[in-house]
Every structure is written in C-alpha cells, then in structure tokens.
C-alpha cells in the first residue's frame, strides 16, 4: 500500500510492536499500513466521527484486514483500556486538541511504550504539556509534503528536564543532527514571529510590552539556532 509522505513519516516513527492504536484515524491509512508492512501485529483504528470511521472500515475491509484491525467509535483515548495498546498515534490534529485528548485519560496514555504525535499547530504548547505531564520527547522528525513542513514527535512516559527553552520550540535531536529541513522550518517560524512583532509594535496597547519581549526573546533563540546551521 502506498501512502503520502506525511503519513509515511508518522508510520516510520512507530517502533515494531504488538498493538498500535490510531486515535483520530479518519481514513485508517496509518494502522492499515503498519499492519500490512508487519510493523505491528494488530491495530485499533478509532475516531469520534462515525463518517470518518466508516472510511477506515471500508479500507480495512478492502484490504482484508478485519481480523487484525478493530475499529472503535469514541472520544480520544476513552475507547482504550489501560495497557491495551503498546503505542498510540495521534496525528493530523492541533497540538492543543492532542494535549486535551491525553489530559482526559492520563492513565491510558501513561501505560504505553510510546506516543507518536503529529501536531498541525501549537507544537510548543504540546511539548510544554508533555513536559509537565511526565513524558519525555526522545525523537522528533520533520517531513515536507507539498509546501508544508510537518512536525513529528515521539514521546515516552518519563521525566523530561528541559535544558533550554528552545527545545519547546524545536526538537533537540533536530538541532543536534542538523535535520535537512530545519533551516527551512526555522526560517518559516522567523518570518511568522517577525510579522507578530511588527503587528504588536503597531498596536501598542497597555500590557503589550511583555508579549513583545517574549516574542523578541523567541526570535533571538530561533536566530541563534538558524545561524549555527
């Protein structure tokens, strides 16, 4: 089965294991790919939307994988029992929604070997939540599909001491490895932060100074990493 680059990069982050749960599976491509390739033995494809789950069910039937991928309708991790999945994928949603899903059923999230997360937005907020809720980020990746660069995070239960605030913005290993997409990724972030600073500078309302300073500090951190690449 052929899947697009973003989905393939997500699947590549999953380490071979017994059971994977894909929360917000929609089309069901991730569990279908992982089971078909033999990376996982079984999959649980879950979604809160009946329509999305129907798409996954069609794919699973078409691939003859009904005995290896179970579909479940429901909100977030509530479809799982504690310890049932070795690894959980939550991809293609905003970082805040991902952290809310994890927050609702903490015991289930803490019982896995790993979480593979792919936030479409608010990756800083997601990393912050992970750091405050006993998850350690052990790996990150970037993938480009079309014009967009996507961030991928692998987290495992365990304490994470953040050595530098910039690691809430950019994965530590991406900086260390000088990931080939990092320069382009950071340059996009720098452009956005500069636009925010220019907007705040013009607004000049009360209390804006501390927000401006936060963004200026963030810009300086990004510039430092960028100049080292």
Binding site for ligand SAM (CB under 6 A): 23-26, 47-49, 52, 75-76, 91-93, 101
Report the residue number, 101 or 137, with the smaller CB distance to ligand SAM.
101
For the beta carbon of residue 13, count every other beta carbon within 10 angstroms.
Answer: 22
Shortest Å distance, C-beta 101 to ligand SAM:
5
Estimate to the nearest angstrom the gap between the alpha carbon of 49 and the chain centroid. 20
CA distance 54 to 50: 6
Shortest Å distance, C-beta 51 to ligand SAM:
8
Q: At what angle do helices 29-36 and 5-13 cross, to 10 degrees?
A: 60
Shortest Å distance, C-beta 104 to ligand SAM:
8
Report the residue number, 43 or 92, with the smaller CB distance to ligand SAM.
92
Report the residue number, 4 or 178, with the smaller CB distance to ligand SAM.
4
Shortest Å distance, C-beta 137 to ligand SAM:
19
CA gyration radius, the chain: 19
HSE of 24, CA atoms in CB hemisphere, 13 A:
16
- 3-state class of 19 per DSSP? strand
CA distance 194 to 52: 38
Report the residue number, 47 or 151, with the smaller CB distance to ligand SAM.
47
């Amino acid at each position: 089965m052929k899947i697009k680059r973003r989905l393939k990069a997500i699947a590549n982050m999953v380490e071979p294991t017994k059971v994977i749960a894909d929360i917000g599976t929609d089309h069901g491509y991730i569990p279908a790919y992982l089971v078909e390739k033999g990376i996982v033995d079984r999959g649980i494809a879950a979604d809160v939307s009946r329509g999305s789950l129907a798409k996954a069910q069609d794919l699973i039937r078409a691939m003859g994988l009904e005995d290896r991928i179970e579909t479940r309708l429901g909100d977030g991790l509530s479809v799982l029992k504690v310890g049932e999945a070795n690894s959980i994928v939550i991809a293609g949603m905003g970082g805040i929604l991902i952290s809310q899903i994890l927050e609702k059923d903490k015991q289930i999230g803490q019982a896995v070997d790993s979480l593979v997360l792919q936030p479409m937005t608010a990756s800083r907020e997601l990393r912050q939540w992970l750091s405050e809720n006993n998850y350690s980020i052990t790996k990150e990746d970037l993938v480009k599909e079309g014009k967009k660069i996507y961030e991928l995070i692998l987290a495992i239960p365990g304490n994470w001491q953040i050595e530098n605030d910039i690691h809430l913005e950019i994965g530590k290993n991406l900086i260390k490895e000088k990931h080939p997409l990092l320069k382009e990724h950071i340059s996009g972030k720098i452009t956005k932060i500069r636009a925010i600073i220019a907007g705040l500078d013009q607004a000049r309302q009360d209390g804006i100074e501390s927000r401006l300073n936060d963004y200026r500090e963030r810009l300086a951190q990004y510039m430092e990493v960028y100049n080292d690449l």
